[in-house]
Amino acid sequence: MLNEAYEPQCASVKVHCSDTRQASRRTLTLLALAFGTFCIGTSEFASMGILQLFAAGLDLDVATATHAIEAYAFGVVIGGPVVTVLAARLNRRHLLLALMAVFVLGNVLSAMATGLGMFTLARFVSGIPQGAYFGAGAVVASYIVGPGQGGRAFAMVMTGLTVATIVGSPLATLLGQNLGWRNAYLAVSALGTVAFLALWMWVPRSDALNGGPVLQELQALNRPSVWAMVAVAALGVASIFAVYTFIGHFVTEEASLSETWIPLALGVFGVGMTVGNVVGGRLADRYPSRGLITGFGSALVALALLAVGGGNAWILMIGLFLVGGTMMVAIPTIQVRLTQAAPDAPTLMGAMNLAALNVANAIGAWAGGQTIAHGLGLLSAVWAGFALTLAGLVLFLLVSRKRPSDHLPGASRELSPS
């Protein structure tokens, strides 16, 4: 009788232990995915923080040096969709590992560059894995968290990138200032190696993560709604990069602070992005439009504040926080809208989202650089971003005139519109 009473208790303990192990495994998988995006984000955003350093090191003016940043963005734009299609049948775990290996190689080449041509090529190679990594990472995260949580899953993957703007990019900038910009890229390469090992250990080996037919991915590109959202993202999010690219100059030349304040300014921007990403992930799974309209609309106010008062150190810091936060509210919604437009090609839609964001990177950096080059002042770059975000918001409103009900099935009634 004692044994009969004891056996159910043992079974209960075993089930509890099994559930605990599975939960721990899921957490480690999500952390590994986010750490990969942390490395990618550190590489991308640190390049903007050390723009002045590698420009001087390669004997370039600032306007010319921004071509390397644009090359990274084009690497994402071209690499994301192309790699995703070519690797359509590849298991997402294997794809993530291959992409992280290419990322490490690109950053090692960046550290070794001796001229603009080699450096630009190295940054292009560094950017190739990003879009496909985010797409594959979002698929794995969705598999981990379960159906109906696409916005939350994408926000989890994006968390690594936003944390990179708080910790990775400021530290890489600080490292570049003290030990040289080449060592900053070598440090990113080392982090990428650790991310490769984490992915190898914790991303599950599962046939559920196998890819699909190439034609299935390509057919998604025939849908006008996909390209409409890509255009909205490319225009609307460009203001982040019109601001972030020139943060160092805003700090030292507009606010008259020492360069030691640059990492702090980058961190403030990153905290805003992280907060906005959390809010945006929650909105994206419940409302198909509200996150984007709220994000872009409030970003216009934040950009105007920064453009008018950015010469004041306090307003500069507040403005950077608000621009980062408001823009990130919109990005998970963009991913959900893309996935709704092509549910049979989720990896490609993740890659297309990142491709669009890096078109935004190139457009924002270029537009800001052009207004500065034409003698309109450093803060004119912020107004360039304002114009681009306004264009993105107007375009979204035009293409969403016949949008579905703002309340998605399965959303909490407590959060439904009144």
Cα(253)–Cα(240) distance, integer angstroms: 19
CATH homologous superfamily, domain 33-209+223-402:
MFS general substrate transporter like domains (1.20.1250.20)
pTM score above 0.85: no
The Cα angle at residue 193 between residues 53 and 357, in degrees rounded to 5: 60
Q: What is the pLDDT of residue 225?
A: 84
Write down the pLDDT at residue 253: 86
Q: Who's near 391: CB < 8 A, 6+ residues apart?
A: 235, 236
Which residues of the chain are under the pLDDT cut of 70?
1-21, 23, 146-152, 211-214, 216-217, 285, 288, 402-418
Q: Which of 163, 361, 171 is nearest to 272 (CA)?
A: 163
Q: What does the pLDDT look like over 22-59, one tens digit per residue?
A: 767 777 888 899 999 999 988 887 887 787 788 877 87
SS3 label, residue 413? helix
Query: What HEC string does 129-190 produce?
Result: HHHHHHHHHHHHHHHHHCCCCHHHHHHHHHHHHHHHHHHHHHHHHHHHHHHCHHHHHHHHHH
User: Distance (Å, rounded) from C-alpha 42 to C-alpha 164?
Assistant: 5
Q: In 198-218, which positions are buried (b, 16+ CB within 10 angstroms) versus exposed (e)? A: bbeebbeeeeebebeeeeebe
Q: What is the pLDDT of residues 132-162, one digit of tens each?
A: 888 788 788 877 776 666 666 777 777 787 7
Encoded tokens for 413: 């009634």
Do 50 and 262 touch, CB atoms closer than 8 A?
A: no
Residues 56, 303, 291, 166, Cα dihedral to 10°: 40
pLDDT at site 405: 41
Q: How far apart are CA 69 and CA 104, in angstroms?
A: 17
Cα separation, 53 vs 58, whole angstroms: 9
Mapping DSSP to helix (H, G, I), strand (E, B) and coil, where does residue 406 land? coil
Domain segments of the chain as ranges: 33-209+223-402
User: How far, in Å, CA of 198 to CA of 206, rounded?
Assistant: 17
